[in-house]
Amino acid sequence: MTPAATASSPGATTIDLLLKHDRPVPRYTSYPTAAAFHGGVTAADLETQLARRTDEPLSLYVHVPFCRNACWFCGCNRVTTGAGSTVVGPYLEALAAELELITRHSAQRRRLAQLHWGGGTPNYLTIPERESLWRLIERHFDLEDDLEASIEVNPEALSREDVVAMRRLGFTRISFGIQDADPLVQRAVNRVVPVDQLRRAMAWMREAGFDSVNVDLICGLPLQTPERFEATLALVQDLRPDRVSLFSFAYLPDQLPLQRKIARQDLPSQRQRLQMLESAASRLGGCGYDAIGMDHYALSGDSLAVAARQGRLHRNFQGYTTGGELELLGVGPTAISQFPGLFSQNQRDLKAYGASIANGQLPVERGLVVSDPEVLERRELIREVMCQFRVAIDPVRFNREWADLTLLANDGLVRLSQVDGLGLVEVTTSGRWLIRTVAAVFDPSQRRAASGSRLI
């Protein structure tokens, strides 16, 4: 993607269009979004869902909330502590009790096609503690032979023994955060990992034989400049992970108190941020990576890139996935379960989570029941935009949306056509930067009040 002038807006660059259309919009990891969740959904709703028989496999998400140090950019649900096994032991007992409750309410033993450990920092657990958690999962689920098992790790305290043990345990995919490799930027967000350690971590992962390695980058961090970020991109090109997740930093100090440690004046300008995003797209696209959705890149042979080419890409609370059609069950505090007609989110506070389980109740705090056919239809339209960059609609039924899309087409962000009364919408290369804005056209709540994080 290059900042060339668009045909419909002479002289307007991609950067100009991004600045023109920048407004808060959801990331659409679900529709309706988590902002619509409410306390009227309870454990009883999840129990009813679990009691339904199905032969389909399941995706399981396990939340490990502990971190040794707090990264100041972070918006994840985590507990910063150096207590180690003192807090992990009781937590594993709570997870065991939660899984017992799930099994008790389930119509049958489910098969796992996907497993993901996120956090927090899953490698906060020791090797024996990770083995204990894996065996606990095996006790309650049947693991498919081709199980896709992924884990997020912090490379800071990672060792070769750690990496080998995770692969031996059964993990096939691994992800670690670089965010930015520049020492000044790292210190500005309280996440210091020397480049030599990042290189060692990647070498260990390759040696262990993981099917796929992902690295996370964040654009828009304090003290970042296009020049400094270019060095990070050069490192990523050299490491050559299978996937790259490139996120745009959402600075929300009012909602995330930890971010108040970051001075607003240290943040790069919008134009600098866009320059960095375009540089990343150009460099990654030039060395064998396919652009996936709005913020992912994958080597052409990676399963995510293959799924995108074959039209099988999906999106859920874990981001872009090849198995989004699977029901998603989340365990641990703040974990979200996602079924076709139900979202349920666990208690976000660790103590409240533990207390609920101690009382013999699934720890559901809030959620959403989805049964309206129009909502389900809009969910599919948004998924197609976010995953396939195109969608077909009835321009008469969706006349208001078609009018909004026409305005975006005038700026070269989408191409519109009509065939046999059907309206075809195709997101352009420039429009991919604004994919969330295109998707928001189909979200009536965004007409009432814009919400979410800004694009840049």
Write out the CATH class of domain 14-24+371-445.
mainly alpha
For residue range 376-435, list pLDDT tens digits in order: 999 999 999 999 999 999 999 999 999 999 999 999 999 999 999 999 999 998 888 889
Residue 86 tokens, joined: 């003192």
Residue 411 confidence (pLDDT): 92
Residue 10 has pLDDT above 70, yes or no: no
For residue range 115-135, list pLDDT tens digits in order: 999 999 999 999 999 999 999
Q: What is the mean pLDDT of residues 210-229?
A: 97
Exposure string over 190-208, b if 16+ CB within 10 A, otherwise e: ebebebeebebbbebbeeb
CATH 3.80.30.20 range(s) for the chain read: 48-338
Residue 182 confidence (pLDDT): 98
| 96/167 Cα distance (integer angstroms) | 23
- Above pLDDT 70, what percent of the chain? 95
CATH 1.10.10.920 range(s) for the chain read: 14-24+371-445
Q: Between the CA of residue 337 and those of 57, 97, 103, 153, 431, what are the distances in Å?
A: 14, 17, 15, 22, 31
Residue 188 — very low, low, confident or very high, per pLDDT cuts 50/70/90? very high
The Cβ-side half-sphere exposure at 148, using a 13 Å CA radius, reads: 16
| 417/419 Cα distance (integer angstroms) | 7
- Cβ distance 328 to 29 under 8 Å? no
Mean pLDDT of the chain: 93
Residue 30 has pLDDT above 70, yes or no: yes
| Cβ-Cβ contacts under 8 Å for 45 (sequence gap 6 or more) | 342, 344, 364, 367, 369
Residue 270 confidence (pLDDT): 86
pTM given for the model: 0.93
Residue 433 confidence (pLDDT): 84
- Cβ distance 365 to 347 under 8 Å? yes
Cβ neighbours of 409 (radius 10 Å): 19
Residue 7 has pLDDT above 50, yes or no: no
- Above pLDDT 90, what percent of the chain? 83
CA-wise closest residue to 69 among 117, 125, 120: 120
3 state SS of 60: strand
| 119/79 Cα distance (integer angstroms) | 10
Residue 324 — very low, low, confident or very high, per pLDDT cuts 50/70/90? low
Residue 168 tokens, joined: 């031996």
- Quote the CATH superfamily of domain 48-338: tm_1862 like domain (3.80.30.20)
Residue 22 — very low, low, confident or very high, per pLDDT cuts 50/70/90? confident
Q: What residue spans of 253-372 are helical by DSSP H?
A: 270-285, 303-309, 350-358
Full DSSP string of 119-172: ES-GGGS-HHHHHHHHHHHHHHSEEEEEEEEEEEE-GGG--HHHHHHHHHHT--
Residue 4 — very low, low, confident or very high, per pLDDT cuts 50/70/90? very low
Residue 362 tokens, joined: 């699934």
Residue 360 has pLDDT above 70, yes or no: yes
Q: What is the mean pLDDT of residues 226-230?
A: 97
Q: Which helix (H) or strand (E) holds 426?
A: strand 422-427
For residue range 52-91, list pLDDT tens digits in order: 999 999 999 999 999 999 999 998 889 999 999 999 999 9
